[in-house]
Amino acid sequence: MTPWAIRHYFAIPVGGSRIGDDAGNTARISWAGQPPSLSTPSLKDKIASFFSRATQKDPQPVANAQPNVECPFLDIRQGASTLTFPPPPPDGGNEAMSLKYQGIFLRAARDCAVVNGQLVMRVGVQGRIIVGPAGGAGHIEVPLRIAVVSAPITAPKTVVTKLIRIPVTIGATDDNVDFSYIEEGLSFPVPTSAADPYIVYIGFDPLGAAAQDQAKKPAPAKKPKPSVKPNPNAPTG
């Protein structure tokens, strides 16, 4: 069992354009407001259309399915609702002034359809990168994890999981930058009964991204063992 298989229900920080806000507000995912402004009109329209009809936890009809088939709820994994660059120190210390960026989720939604006997799910995520005291212009990748889990309360089991890297560019005058992503191809077997429900978790997964990077590195070449030269003065016989 992986940590992605066991946690749900959360709160996310909202308000404040820079790190160091004293408000300390927390809230559930907000559905108010418009999607962030994007440079590509077709992508902007696509995201706006998706969020206008898809929801996070409300009952969602499943196209081409029997009436008893439900679109799994979407939730953010506890402990994975914020992202920091650089990561927090291992000793749990507070290095606020060295923080470059913090990532949070703004909203998420999903819709479903049955295609060739499989449940095909689209998951949309919108989030924000906030510039910290040590931050500035730059390019980062947001490691987004999506995991489908069956029977999340009684016997959690990961059905499918995917790590996505979302590129984000921060300008020299930016206090924060919004990002958006829609996963189109999440496919898995249709749940067989209401007693074995599915839930879809999203969250930031920097450890998974680091492990993926490490696995891609070539193994260091083995150094040849030095040959042992015979000692001409060694006794014989």
**pLDDT tens digits for 122-145?**
999 999 999 999 999 999 999 999
Which residues pair with residue 157 across a beta bridge? 150
* Segment holding 44, helix H or strand E: helix 41-53
Which pLDDT score, from 0 to 100, does residue 9 have? 28
CA distance 90 to 30: 32
Q: Can you tell me the mean pLDDT for 164-179?
A: 96
pTM surpassing 0.85? Answer: no
Which pLDDT score, from 0 to 100, does residue 29 have? 30
Residue of 124, 101, 98, 100 lying closest to 111 (CA atoms): 124
Q: Can you tell me the mean pLDDT for 88-101?
A: 77
Which pLDDT score, from 0 to 100, does residue 91 have? 65
CA distance 32 to 9: 20
Query: How many Å is the Cα radius of gyration of the chain?
Result: 23
CB 16 within 8 A of CB 176: no
Answer whether residue 3 shows pLDDT above 60. no
Which residues pair with residue 203 across a beta bridge? 145
Tokens of 97: 């002034």
CA distance 22 to 14: 12
Q: What is the mean pLDDT of the chain?
A: 76
Question: Looking at 15-24, 170-179, 218-227, which range is the least confident one?
Answer: 15-24
* Segment holding 206, helix H or strand E: helix 206-216
Highest mean pLDDT of the ranges 31-45, 47-61, 112-126, 127-141: 127-141
Model confidence at 19, in pLDDT bands (50, 70, 90)? very low
